[in-house]
Amino acid sequence: MYKLLNLDVQATNSIRANWIEQVEKGDDSGLELTDSFFDYLMSGNYFGDLLQRSNQITYLSVVDPNNQEVVAITEIIYARQGAKSICKIMDISHAPKISNLEDEAYINKSFDILLSILAHMLEINKSTNHGITKIYARDDAARDTIKQIHTHTDKNVLETTGFKMKTSGYRWLEFEKI
């Protein structure tokens, strides 16, 4: 399982330098996209402690605990309203070394990253009276992923962890605390 860490200016700049180096080692066609992603993140000050940033976009790093490498950055919106909390997983940007993997390796790695993010958000919502975690499917590939999760997850096992799962509209997969 990957771990999620809050970002700050120093960590974000370090990740930016590392990802740009990764892009330059491979096909540098993604350099401008990588650079503009970090410009956006920094200009909006979209980092900090997720639980202190209610109703705001917050980016978190996804770190491989074996080598401390950042394998992805995820966009989360956390909202707290009394005893209710909602975590929305809006997007995941993979490190260039992950994005450049062959198809099957990429799918497996990105799925493991998503499951780690989901587990982290479910853990946050487990501590509330009423918690909902939602995954947003931004594109066709993400819609296929949430469909696979919904279809192949054992609902009984999920319920024993205290959550029920359902699709919500065309682009959302929702996990609600029961």
Q: How confident is the model at residue 38 (pLDDT cuts 50, 70, 90)?
A: very high
Task: List, for residues 6-15, the tens digit of each pLDDT value.
Answer: 999 999 999 9
Task: List, for residues 117-145, the tens digit of each pLDDT value.
Answer: 999 999 888 878 888 999 999 888 888 88
Instruction: Give the amino acid at 164.
Output: K
CA nearest to 79, candidates 118, 153, 8, 131: 131
| Cross-strand pairs, 87 | 78, 133
Buried b (16+ CB within 10 A) or exposed e, 137-165: beeeebbebbeebeeeeeeeeeeeeebeb
Q: Is the pLDDT of residue 68 over 90?
A: yes
Mean pLDDT, rounded, of the chain: 89
Using a pLDDT cut of 90, give the percent of the chain over it. Answer: 54
3-state secondary structure 44-72: CCCCCCHHHCCCEEEEEEEECCCCCCEEE
| Whole-structure pTM value | 0.90
